[in-house]
Amino acid sequence: MDTDHREGHGGLVGAVRGALEQFMALTGLEPVATTGVRRDGDGWSVLVDVVELERIPTTTSVMATYRVDMDGSGTLTGFERLRRFSRGQVDQA
C-alpha cells in the first residue's frame, strides 16, 4: 500500500508538510529542517529545527528543536521546545 496516499492528508509527507505550515503560522518561526517524524497513536509527532536568534557569524545563531504533534485529521494539537543549541554545535555520539 502506498504510504503517502493511505492517509487523508497524504501520509507521512502530508503530515510533515501540515505540521511545518501550522507551526510556522502559530509561532512565526520558519522551519530550517525536519529532524524526525514518528507515528503517535492516530497522529504524528514531528521534530522541527528553527533559528530562534540570528547572529553573525551564523555558526553562533541560536537554534531550537521543537516537537510538533498532529492528530489523525492533520490538525496541530500541540508543540513544545525540546532544546536550544548553537548552530555550530555538534551532538556528542
Mean pLDDT by 10 residues, the chain (93 residues): 45 93 97 96 96 94 97 95 91 72
Would residue 93 count as lying in a domain?
Answer: no
Residue 64 makes CB contacts below 8 A (sequence gap 6+) with: 49, 50, 52, 81, 82, 83, 84, 85
Q: Give the number of domains in the chain.
A: 1
Q: Is residue 76 situated within a structural domain?
A: yes
- Looking at residue 10, its pLDDT comes to 67
54 located within any domain: yes
For 13, phi then psi, to 5°, come to -60, -45
Specify if 92 maps to a domain: no
Tens digit of pLDDT for each residue in 1-17? 344 444 444 688 999 99
pTM equals 0.84
According to the model, what pLDDT value does residue 2 have?
40
Q: Give the containing element (helix H, strand E) for 64.
A: strand 62-70
Q: What is the CATH number of the domain that holds 67?
A: 3.10.450
Please choose, from the candidates 61, 68, 25, the residue with its C-alpha nearest in 3D space to the C-alpha of residue 45: 68
Q: Is residue 18 a part of any domain in this protein?
A: yes
Specify if 91 maps to a domain.
no
Domain range holding 68? Answer: 3-86
